[in-house]
Structure 1
Amino acid sequence: MGKLQQLLLVVTVALSLAVQAQGSYAEGEKLRVLVLHGYKGNGNRQCKYCNSWDPAVTNLIQFDCLTAPIPYIFMKWRDCYSWFNVAILYRSQSGIDESLVFILDHMLKNGPYDGVIGHSQGGFMAGVLVGVLEKKKEILGRSFGILPPLRFAIIDKGPFLEDLLEDVLIPPLKTKSFHVIGTIDPYQDEQEVFLTKWQDPQVEYIKMPHVPLTGEYMDVNFTLRFKEFLNNFRRVKAKGKLAEK
């Protein structure tokens, strides 16, 4: 082998190793996800639930758990908040618009985000957030078109509330979604109605009541499917990082 061929071989190997190193770094990067808690919850508690998930999943995600702006009014419930008033299912009085603007400000300050996770009331809010971003809606004079659409949504037992912002869910949402539905959840029917608002939902049924998903409910098969759903977006993210370099 001549000196020129040897030099070319060394350069080729070096370039290959560099590309692999870049790819490994990008593929190891976690997905940044905004987390919305359920009714009478808060961000700290919801983060504890999420961090109890199987490490095969949590190793892929960086959680940012936001606490809703509306405090629960009864004194016996401390550190409890909601995204809207469930007793008033009218958009103008529920507080849902104000919560959306609250989320927008948080995303502008702390983003960008790859996806959103929501449990129960937070699951419905996650769907509404996806909708206003996809459709570039204006809420209370604030445009959601200044942010890019989210890449995915994880909906943990999120019900459909037809009187609140239904217009942002029509036509069905294009954003990829992963839905966890409890088979002994009294709100299962409402959750299945919510599925119809998504264009291509991935659905997982688990025998559990209406409580946040925790690691104790995650068997091996569920964890593998959850991990694969997330890895689809990590692979795309890795390719994007390589293209930038």
Structure 2
Amino acid sequence: MAESRAHEKPRILCLHGFRTSAKILETQIHKWPESVLEKLDLVYLNAPYPSTGKSGVDGIFDPPYFEWFQANQDFTEYENFEEGIAFIEDFMVKNGPFDGLLGFSQGAILAAALPGMQAEGLVLTKVPKIKFLILISGGKLGGSKFGAPPLAANAFSSPVKCPSLHVIGENDFLKPESIALLDSFVDPIVIHHPKGHTIPRLDDQSLEIVNNFIDKIRNVATA
């Protein structure tokens, strides 16, 4: 198996942000140069739930918009959390195998918690272990801003060992959550950028970090 996959690109399931879509995330990721994107097999998935309110990208990107789960205003109660993950797992079973996950915003918050829940045997039991994460504007379930749904109560009880790339915006409202999330990973690789809650273009330094991370995950994916 390893030999047959040696020349394949790492296959990555991409989870979009709150009240956006797979198509929008694909457009955002294409700010990154083709020299990066051609090394990855990126698969974009729409979340299962139509937007339940106004989208922050309304007027910038066309609808429809989707969300992975819903929460009350202070993020202490969640709806559709387990169902959203089951939807992802079903897609991974039918369209995998996937090596890793890329998430932006709500998609990154969810992706960050999945390896820990998978290690507990609570979710993604029918698919291979998640080997790496790319988290853009992420946050921590069970951190200071977001309470943890019951399923994710112990998602970060042990440090997450899989390689992780964290993209953090200097002016992002989720910056404190993104920083706090780093402590939950064994060896997080970090890109800081001057923008806000967005997927940034890559400057020379960021591009070097991304390319080094891709080299790392290629080895992990084909191992």
TM-score grouping bracket, smaller chain normalisation = 0.7 to 0.9
| CA RMSD, 1 decimal | 2.1
The structural deviation recorded for 1:237 is 4.6
- Taking structure 1 as the reference length, the TM-score comes to 0.77
Change (3 A) 1:75 1:196: closer
- Is 1:133 paired with 2:122? no
Tell me, yes or no, if the aligned pair for 2:103 and 2:134 is still in contact at 8 Å.
yes
2:22 alignment partner in structure 1: 43
Amino-acid identity (%): 27
Partner in structure 1 of residue 136 of structure 2: 156
Under a length normalisation based on structure 2, what TM-score does the superposition of the two structures give?
Answer: 0.84
Take 2:89 and 2:194, find their aligned partners in 1: how far apart are those partners?
A: 34
Residues 99, 221 of structure 2: 8 Å contact kept = no
Where has structure 1 moved over 3 Å in runs of 4 or more? 25-28, 74-78, 235-238
Q: Provide structure 1 residue ranges, at least 5 long, that are not aligned to the other structure.
A: 1-22, 139-143, 241-245
1:134 shift after superposition = 2.5
1:232 aligned to 193, 216, 220, which one?
Answer: 216
Query: Over alpha carbons, which structure has the higher Rg?
Result: 1
For residues 147 and 208 of structure 1, the distance between their equivalents in structure 2, rounded to whole angstroms, comes to 35
CA 51–28 in structure 1, closer or farther in 2 if over 3 Å, else same: farther
Structure-1 separation of matches of 2:48 and 2:64: 11
Task: State the one-letter code of the partner of 1:98.
Answer: E
CA displacement at 1:218 relative to structure 2? 0.6
Q: SS at the partner of 1:60?
A: coil
- Of Structure 1 and Structure 2, the greater helix share is in 1
Contact 1:116 1:126 in 2 (8 A): yes
Find the counterpart in structure 1 of residue 90 from structure 2. Answer: 105
Residue in 1 that maps onto 2:170: 183
- The count of residues paired between Structure 1 and Structure 2 equals 207
- List alignment gaps of at least 5 residues for structure 2: none
